Amino acid sequence: MKFFVVTLFEEMFHAWAESGLVGQALKKQNFQMEFINPRSFTSDVHQAVDDKVYGGGDGMAAMFGPWSEAIEFAMQKEPSAQVIFLTPQGESWNQKKVSEFLQRKPSQEMGIRSFVFVCGRYAGFDERLVKAYADHEISIGDYVLNGGELAAMVVMESLVRGLPGVLGESSSFRKDSFGEEGLLECPQFTRPQSVKGMDVPSFLLSGHHKNIEALSRAISIVRTKNRRPELLEKAQISSKELEAAEKLIRQLSEEERDLLGVNS
Ligand code: SAM
């Protein structure tokens, strides 16, 4: 997978691209990344990439010229690349979209799967840039950031996690919250066994793997119901399955249920 990032602030990406799993994945060439600065496509002395918006007001928007040339530069390198504009007005990014984007396989002639992320600044883009180039407009949430860089990193990292060879435990991409089943993951514990009056739930210490699996799934279902009921509806968990999960967690103590967030 290759990411082209159209941005005025490449330096924002450096620490991210060098750290943790993303850093390792980049080193192993699980994905590639190239930055394109719209300022490189200016010819005036100020290297202007923004201008006053029409209609009054003091807002400045990304100008068509340098931004369109930056996007076209990427597309010349990878003509099959999908262009993604980061904008608070776009479709909400979520794990389902991550899977959809990962599943779309390029045909042989298309070459490597590539995306161009366009990171806005100021008041946003001249809308004609979006009309001319966007395959997708993506928002990472209903709030406004100063620029698209953080949003691009969020989207890229969620995609990188799903690339073959990136996560050590290959099933964790499917088992994480919002994964294959669309549920929240069961809470995790590590040593010490007892801390601040809270004990690791005893079923996790039993060594009985079938029982651990069944209870973990039941906890996942009930925790999702308590925290994100709308996800449970989408996950297509039948009322019979929910009842069975609720019955199963009754074998946990009151304290354990409280700790696991499954008390009703
Ligand atoms: N005036 C725009 C509006 O109200 O829709 C907001 C512009 S914002 C200050 C500047 C840039 O930050 C946007 O062009 C976009 O690239 C990025 N941005 C801000 N919030 C975002 C979000 N929630 N998701 C994705 N990108 C965002």
- Structural domains counted in the chain: 2
Q: Is 146 in the pocket of ligand 1 (CB under 6 A)?
A: yes
β-strand pairing of 194-195 with 198-199: antiparallel
Q: Is 112 in the pocket of ligand 1 (CB under 6 A)?
A: no
141 lies in the same domain as 54: yes
Report which ligand 1 atom has the smallest distance to the Cα of 85. 16
What is the per-residue pLDDT across 148-175, written as a single tens digit (0 to 9) for each? Answer: 999 999 999 999 999 999 997 657 777 8
Q: Looking at residue 44, which CATH number applies to its domain?
A: 3.40.1280.10
Task: Choose the weakest-confidence range: 66-70, 176-180, 243-247.
Answer: 176-180
Q: How far is the CA of 164 from the centre of ligand 1 (A)?
A: 31
pTM of the model: 0.95
State how far the Cα of 219 lies from the Cα of 154, in Å rounded to an integer.
28
What is the per-residue pLDDT across 239-258, written as a single tens digit (0 to 9) for each? Answer: 999 999 999 999 999 999 99
Contacts of 61 (CB under 8 A, 6+ apart): 50, 51, 53, 122, 123, 124, 125, 126
Return mean pLDDT, the chain.
Answer: 95
26 lies in the same domain as 133: yes
Structural domain of 90: 1-167
242 domain-assigned: yes
Count of all residues that appear for the chain in the document = 264
22 lies in the same domain as 73: yes
51 domain-assigned: yes
151 lies in the same domain as 191: no
| The pLDDT value given to residue 172 | 77
194 lies in the same domain as 253: yes
Does the pLDDT at position 106 exceed 70? Answer: no
For 9-18, what is the mean pLDDT?
98
Report which ligand 1 atom has the smallest distance to the Cα of 140. 24
State how far the Cα of 16 lies from the Cα of 21, in Å rounded to an integer.
10
Could you say which of 109, 140, 167 is where a domain stops?
167
Residue nearest to atom 24 of ligand 1 (CA): 139
264 domain-assigned: no
